[in-house]
Amino acid sequence: MSSKKILGALAALAAAGLVAAPAASATPSVAGEAFALSAKGLINIDPLPQVNGKNGYDHKKVVEIPAKSVQVKALEAEAGKHNAKATVVNLSVDLGLDLLKELKLGGSQLLNAQVITAKCDKTGVSSSLVGAKLLGKPLDVAVPANTGIEVPGLAKVMLNEQVKNKNGTTTVNAISIKISELQKITVASATCAAGKDGGDGGTSTTKPSTSTSKPGTPTSTSPGSGTSTTTASSGGNGGVAPRPVPAPAQLDVTG
C-alpha cells in the first residue's frame, strides 16, 4: 500500500468517525463486563464476545472471527456482578506485510500469542500474555500495570493497561495497540468494580492469587469478598453439601 493510500485510508477513517476512542471510554455499568477482542480501523471487529453481568451471569465463547486478517482458536468472555474475565487462545493479527513495511513497522505479523488473559474481581485486576510476540519480538508473560511500548514509527502499545473509569470501575486490557489513527486493537478486556472491601454476603471463597499476580501489583485479600457465587452456606470442610441458590444467569442448553 502506498503512502498516499494510507493517508487516504486515514482520512476516510477520520471522516467516518472511526478513529478509535480509548476502550475504557464507554461507560461501564457497575457489574462486571468483558470482551476478548475488538478492532477499529482497517480491521473492524465489534467487541467479541461482549458480556455484561448486570442482568445475571453472562458467559460466551466464539471460535470464528468476522475478519480474514485475524486468526484465533477461541475467544471467551464471562462476567458476573463482581467479576469478569476474557481469554484469547492462539491469536494472530496480520495487517499485511506491505502495510507494515510502509509504516516502517518491520516485516513480521503484528501480533501473535498463545494465550492472552485479562481478569478482575473485587480483590483486583490482572492480565497475562503467554507466547506473545509483537512484530516478532517476544513480550513478557506478566508486566506492571500500564507498561508502554513505543514502536518506532506510528504504533503505541500498552500492556496490562489499567484505567479507572468515572463510575468507580477499573478496566484492564491485556494489550492495547494503536497504529497512528489507522488501527486500534484491544485484546482481552475485563472491567470490575474493584477494591471494595467488606463483602456482600459472598461465600468463603478466596481470591486466586497465584496464577496471574505480578510483581509490584498488590493483590489484597479482602475478607468476605467472594466471587459472584451463591450458596445457602459455604458447605465447609466435612459438612453436609448445601442446597444451591439459583444464580441469575443465561445458558443455551439443549432444550
Partner 1 sequence: MATTASSRTVLSALIGLVSLSLLTTGCSAEAPAQAAPAELGTAETAVLPDLNTFGKIENAPLDPAPAAKATTKVFKVTKELPVYDKPGGKPFGKLPTVQVGSPTWVPAIAEQGDWAQVLLPARPNGLAGWIHTPGATESATNPYTVTVNLAGYTLEIFKDGKSQGTHKVGIGKAEFPTPKGRHYLMASIEETKNTYSKYVLPLSAHSDSHETFGGGPGTVALHTWPTNEHIGKSTSDGCIRVTPETLTKLMDLPLGTVISIT
Nearer to partner 1, 107 or 244 (CB): 244
Residue 46 makes contact with partner 1 by CB under 8 A: no
Q: In the chain, what's the furthest Cα-to-Cα distance? A: 71
Nearest to 23 by CA among 214, 175, 212: 175
Nearer to partner 1, 180 or 231 (CB): 231
CB-based burial label for 175 (10 Å; 0-12, 13-18, 19+): buried
Q: Give the type of residue at 158.
A: M
Which residues, including other chains, have CB under 8 Å from residue 164's CB and lie 6 or more apart?
Answer: 170
Nearest to 87 by CA among 75, 104, 79: 75
Please, are residues 157 and 177 in contact by the beta-carbon 8 Å criterion? yes
Chain positions 136 to 165 lying near partner 1, rule: CB under 8 A, are 141-142
Nearer to partner 1, 216 or 238 (CB): 238
Nearer to partner 1, 133 or 207 (CB): 207
Q: How far is the CB of 37 from partner 1 (least distance, A)?
A: 16
Binding mask 82-121 for partner 1 (x = CB under 8 A): -x---x-x------------------------xx-x----
Nearer to partner 1, 147 or 231 (CB): 231
b/e sequence 107-119, b meaning 16+ C-beta within 10 Å: eebbbbbebbbbb
Residue 222 makes contact with partner 1 by CB under 8 A: no
Which range of residues in 93-101, 162-170, 192-200, 201-209 is near partner 1 by CB under 8 A? 201-209
Nearest to 201 by CA among 229, 163, 168: 229
Residue 240 makes contact with partner 1 by CB under 8 A: yes
Residues forming the site for partner 1 (CB under 8 A): 55-57, 59-61, 76, 78, 80, 83, 87, 89, 114-115, 117, 128, 130-131, 141-142, 203-214, 227-231, 234-255
